[in-house]
């Protein structure tokens, strides 16, 4: 199935590839590279900072900060971009405020937001939650006794530099790579802000020329580039210490008490929250507001709400389970065939949603039998989720397996534990924080999926992102923002429940 969707329309001939490497494409490619690098940088800085505060300190209001800081990632990036264009455009509220400052003009700010730098800012802000979640998980996973040992010899700063960060690096880089690939393959935001990137090219081939072969050929550079990034990552991480996660042994995490720093750090969090969440949201809601809009949005959203919830939950659970199983085989056995499979799966992640959607149609839309049934029901949506996001789930879980000291699983095997027992008694308890984290991210990804779902979802049924984007055509702005808000709430609710639950059950906390 994975391969099938990969080889859209059989093997494209050289003809389709001839035009791939032209000078103009190269400039598009450089733009993509710039956009992806800058947004990854921004997302990483914010993400590590917040991940550390949430995971390793006694910062107050964690229970509220944790879900709220996920919001920028839950808002569909196109809407998020639109909100920023509203804020910083010539007549925008923030633009008017900022242009009163010396050396800043309204024109300049507007030019900024409609540039690769503006688009990077938007994407960086939209994607930092990924780094934040992954960093938090990695920080918490670091064995407390190692840090305590370090503290005997040096100050907190040194322990952070020499123990904590190197230990958590594997996870953080993992998150960075995901952000990079996401920003690299992002289409909506750069298109909205008039930044010409490589994905626009692919989109144009599909949307204007209905030329799936050329479009698929154009994915080649994306895939090649992702291979390059991941190879670099492998080489770089190959030499890193693996055994960081042994907290399960004592179940402890070392906390850095903030003391007097509590207030400034909390303020910093709130500022980030305001900038990345409240300002854009307020601009969305205030742009036009009426109760009637919400009534209308609710009637439109109807089944979409239920579908998004149910299929998001099933999709996220499937993905997590898949990550749990495949991650194990990939990282623990490292046999050549599974390793290649793992690698090629990660490449799927770089393939645009439309290409996957068309591939799935070709594969499953066949007369009669099981495939006919699958294509006509919600099963195809789940398959879409799995194909698109399993690389993520497998990678997040695989990384976690690597951090479990080999000695633990070997000791169990020597004592005669089988695979199942090893899984249930050893890995699951150790990996629960990671499982929760993988589930949370998978859920957000699934619940927000548009590109593939719109191509395969059974007629007459839909998920909320589809409702939102189909309603967007010509609906009054207030109905659009109301629908967006409903989507946010629907995605956020189960996360709040889960996150509150997991902080109650201390050891589930990622």
Partner 1 sequence: MGKYLLEVILLLSFLGWTKAEGQEVVVYTSEDRLFSEPVLKEFEKRGGIKVRAIYDTEEAKSTGIVNRLIAEKDNPRADVFWSGDPVRPLLLEKRGMLEPYKSPHAIDIPEIYKDEGGGWTGFSARTRVLLYNKNLIKEGEVTQSIFDLLNPRWKGQVAMANPLFGTTSIHVASLFCVLGEERAREFLKGLKANGVRVVSSNGEVKRLVSRGEAAVGLMDTDDARMALLEGRPVGIVYPDQGGIGTLVMPNMVCIIKGGPNPEEARQLVDFLLSEEVETRLARAECAQMPLRPWTEVTRVPGLDRLRPMLVDYREVAKKLEEIYPYLKEWTGF
> Which H or E run includes 370?
helix 369-376
Q: Which of 167, 216, 168, 484 is nearest to 354 (CA)?
A: 216
Q: What is the DSSP letter of 329?
A: I
Give the whole-angstrom CA distance, residue 3 versus residue 227: 17
Binding mask 434-453 for partner 1 (x = CB under 8 A): ----------------xx--
Give the whole-angstrom CA distance, residue 254 versus residue 145: 8
Q: How far is the CB of 460 from partner 1 (least distance, A)?
A: 3
Give the whole-angstrom CA distance, residue 51 versus residue 172: 10
Residue 67: CB atoms within 10 A of its CB come to 18
Sign of the torsion formed by the C-alpha atoms of 424, 388, 134 and 263 = negative
**Binding residue for partner 1 (CB under 8 A) from 151, 476, 498, 508?**
476
Tell me if 7 contacts partner 1 by CB under 8 A: no
Region binding partner 1 by CB under 8 A among candidate stretches 11-19, 329-337, 473-481, 485-493: 473-481
**Binding residue for partner 1 (CB under 8 A) from 50, 301, 324, 454?**
454
Q: How many residues bind partner 1 (CB under 8 A)?
A: 63
15 contact partners, CB below 8 Å, separation of at least 6: none
Sign of the torsion formed by the C-alpha atoms of 58, 61, 65 and 67 = positive
Tell me if 470 contacts partner 1 by CB under 8 A: yes
Tell me if 98 contacts partner 1 by CB under 8 A: no
CB 287 within 8 A of CB 477: yes
Q: Which is nearer to partner 1, 416 or 460 (CB)?
A: 460
Binding mask 124-163 for partner 1 (x = CB under 8 A): ----------------------------------------
Tell me if 457 contacts partner 1 by CB under 8 A: yes
Q: Which is nearer to partner 1, 253 or 483 (CB)?
A: 483
**Binding residue for partner 1 (CB under 8 A) from 357, 391, 398, 433?**
357
Q: How far is the CB of 333 from partner 1 (least distance, A)?
A: 22
10 Å CB burial of residue 34 (0-12, 13-18, 19+) is middle
Tell me if 463 contacts partner 1 by CB under 8 A: no
Task: Using alpha carbons, list the distances in angstroms from residue 284 to 119, 304, 419.
Answer: 18, 21, 51
Ranges within 372-401 binding partner 1 (CB under 8 A) = 372, 375-379, 382
Region binding partner 1 by CB under 8 A among candidate stretches 44-52, 154-162, 188-196, 501-509: 188-196
Tell me if 60 contacts partner 1 by CB under 8 A: no
Ranges within 211-250 binding partner 1 (CB under 8 A) = 212
Task: Using alpha carbons, list the distances in angstroms from residue 122 to 43, 77, 82, 260, 451.
Answer: 10, 8, 10, 33, 20
């949506």: which residue's tokens?
A: 381
Query: Using CB under 8 A as the criterion, which residues of the chain lie in contact with partner 1 when the complex forms?
Result: 24, 78, 86, 89-91, 110, 188, 191-192, 194, 196, 200-201, 203-204, 206-210, 212, 288, 310, 313-314, 317, 321, 354, 357-358, 361-362, 365-367, 372, 375-379, 382, 450-451, 454-455, 457-462, 466, 469-477
């Amino acid at each position: 199935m994975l391969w099938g969707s990969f080889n859209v329309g059989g093997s494209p001939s050289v003809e389709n590839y001839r035009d791939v490497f032209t000078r103009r494409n190269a400039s598009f490619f450089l733009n993509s590279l710039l956009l992806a690098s800058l947004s990854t940088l921004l997302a990483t800085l914010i993400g590590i900072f917040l991940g550390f505060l949430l995971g390793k300190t006694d910062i107050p209001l964690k229970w509220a900060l944790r879900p709220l800081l996920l919001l920028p990632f839950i808002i569909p990036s196109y809407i998020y971009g639109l909100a920023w264009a509203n804020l910083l455009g010539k007549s925008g509220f923030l633009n008017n405020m900022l242009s009163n400052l010396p050396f800043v003009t309204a024109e300049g700010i507007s030019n900024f937001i409609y540039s690769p730098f503006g688009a990077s800012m938007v994407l960086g802000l939209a994607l930092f939650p990924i780094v934040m979640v992954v960093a938090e998980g990695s920080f918490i996973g670091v064995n407390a006794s190692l840090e305590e040992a370090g503290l005997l010899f040096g100050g907190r700063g040194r322990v952070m530099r020499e123990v904590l960060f190197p230990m958590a690096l594997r996870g953080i880089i993992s998150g960075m790579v995901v952000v990079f690939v996401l920003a690299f393959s992002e289409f909506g935001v750069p298109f909205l802000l008039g930044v010409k990137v490589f994905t626009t090219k692919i989109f144009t081939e599909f949307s204007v020329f209905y030329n799936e072969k050329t479009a698929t050929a154009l994915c080649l550079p994306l895939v090649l580039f992702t291979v390059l990034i991941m190879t670099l990552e492998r080489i770089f991480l190959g030499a890193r210490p693996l055994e960081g996660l042994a907290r399960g042994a004592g179940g402890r995490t070392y906390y850095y008490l903030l003391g007097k720093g509590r207030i400034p750090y909390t303020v910093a969090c709130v500022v980030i929250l305001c900038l990345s969440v409240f300002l854009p949201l307020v601009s969305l809601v205030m742009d036009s507001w009426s109760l009637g809009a919400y009534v209308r949005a609710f009637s439109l959203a109807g089944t979409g709400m239920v579908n998004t919830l149910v299929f998001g939950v099933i999709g996220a659970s499937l993905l997590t389970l898949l990550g749990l199983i495949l991650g194990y085989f990939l990282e623990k056995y490292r046999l050549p065939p599974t390793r290649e499979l793992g690698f090629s799966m990660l490449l799927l992640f770089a393939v645009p949603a439309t290409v996957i959607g068309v591939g799935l149609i070709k594969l499953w839309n066949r007369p009669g039998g099981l495939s006919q049934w699958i294509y006509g029901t919600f099963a195809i949506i789940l398959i879409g989720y799995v194909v698109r996001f399993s690389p993520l789930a497998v990678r997040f879980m695989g990384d976690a397996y690597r951090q479990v000291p080999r000695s633990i699983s070997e000791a169990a095997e020597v004592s005669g534990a089988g695979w199942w027992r090893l899984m249930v008694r050893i890995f699951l308890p150790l990996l629960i924080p990671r499982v929760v984290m993988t589930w949370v991210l998978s859920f957000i990804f699934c619940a927000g999926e548009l590109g593939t779902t719109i191509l395969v979802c059974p007629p007459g049924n839909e998920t909320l992102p589809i409702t939102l984007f189909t309603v967007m055509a010509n609906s009054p702005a207030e109905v659009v923002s109301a629908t967006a808000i409903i989507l946010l709430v629907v995605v956020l609710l189960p996360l709040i429940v889960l996150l509150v639950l997991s902080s109650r059950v201390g050891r589930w906390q990622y």
